[in-house]
Chain A
Amino acid sequence: MLSRLVFVSGIVVHASRCLHTSSQSLAPVPPLPEKGGKVRHGFIPEELFQLLYPKTGVTGPYMLGAGLLLYMLSKEIYVINHETFAAASIGAVIIYGVKKFGPSVGAFADKLNEEKVAKAQEVKDVAMSSLVQATEDEKKEQWRVEGRAMLFDAKRNNVAMLLETNYRERLHMVTNEVKRRLDYQIALQDLNRRLEQEHMINWVEKSVISSITPQQEKESIAKCITDLKVLAKATQAKATA
């Protein structure tokens, strides 16, 4: 019965939560509001108080409530029996439990949800950053590929250098060979000349020695001895003087 009251007041006042009257879907569906409708004392919606405020002021709804309660009790529309006390005790325990442990349980449930969302968010962030990185890498690879001409330039340079080196070596070889041949001729000439000279000298010596007769030999030896004597006297005289 009270839920019907809430329902009615919901339609009247909450115009922002629209009914699905047309077949078109209003996507994205607006999210549910964070908190439920405001209530006083846990189950009486605030809208009732607002409704009655212009006519009866602040105490109006309370008087209405108290009056209704007294009316139901006195006319025995609601009969007090043993169920009343059971309901009262159970209600007391429930209210105590919810007031004590409600916030912490709510926080725990919220934390679970937060973790799920955070995990999903992290996955999304990692995916996005990896995609950005992959794009960067692809661009870098394209830049690298652009340098392929340099490789072939280097290769052609190498080939040209080798050819040039080979050609120069050939030139050098030709010159050196010609020089060697000419130097050989010169050396050959020198050798011939030297051999002739030596042979001539030997021959002259031999003929001179063979032409010395024994008579001449004795005369030359005697002359040498007299010369030596004269020299000895001269040196003796020099030594004593």
Chain B
Amino acid sequence: MAGRRAALKAIDWTAFAERVPPNQRTMFNNLKTRSDAIAAKLTSLPEKPPAIDWSYYRSVVAKAGMVDEFEKKFSALKVPEPVDTQTAIINAQEEEANKTATAYIEASKARIAQYEKQLEKFKNMIAFDQMTIEDLNDTFPETKLDKEKHPYWPHKPIADL
């Protein structure tokens, strides 16, 4: 009985629920209901079936040897354990998920670095009332008037005024 009773890890469903993003909440709820149903079914079954009272049967059944034969065969019987096909698949899924997760975390960190850089730029900016137009064009390149494309004042399409 070595493969049986792989230890059931205690799952903290509340902590799990906190980490679920709102757009995956229905999937999480479905998983939870299914898990609860399976757990309920498991607890409803007693671990061992009730033992057969062989002495009673031996005294009642008239046919000689039948009960003894049954008893012998019954105790010799080994119920095969069901084969576990899914755990390997789940482990493979977990590996993949770990890979995508690390990739996502890397991308997320890059994004955070970008945001931090922009935040630094904003923090180190000179105050608006101390700026000249050149300073403004340096800090916000999009405000620079394109004097080649629109050589005449106001150096931008009239619609943008």
Residues of A at the B interface (CB closer than 8 Å) are: 28-29, 31, 117, 120-121, 124, 127-128, 131-132, 134-135, 138-139, 141-172, 174-176, 178-179, 181-182, 185-186, 189
Contact = CB atoms under 8 A, between A and B. Distances in A.
B148 interface: no
**Among B41, B79, B111, B123, residue most surrounded by chain A Cβ atoms (within 10 Å):** B79
B97 interface: yes
Q: What 4 pairs between A and B have smallest CB-CB spacing? A: A147-B19, A175-B49, A152-B94, A166-B82
A148 B98 contact: yes
A157 to B, nearest CB: 5
Interface residues of B, number: 70
Given A145-B101, A145-B104, A162-B38, A174 B79 contact: yes
Contact of A138 (B15, B111, B132): B111
B79 A148 contact: no
Given A28-B126, A182-B67, A142 B108 contact: yes
Contacts of A144: 19-21
Given A138-B111, A147-B19, A186-B60, A152 B93 contact: yes
B128 A121 contact: yes
A172 B93 CA distance: 34
A103 B9 CA distance: 79
16 contacts: A124-B128, A127-B118, A128-B122, A131-B118, A135-B116, A138-B108, A151-B31, A152-B93, A153-B9, A154-B35, A159-B87, A164-B5, A166-B82, A175-B52, A178-B52, A186-B61
B158 interface: no
Contacts of A147: 15-16, 18-20
Given A124-B125, A161-B8, A164-B42, A182 B61 contact: yes
B90 interface: yes
A172 B4 contact: no
A142 B107 CA distance: 10
A156 B93 CA distance: 11
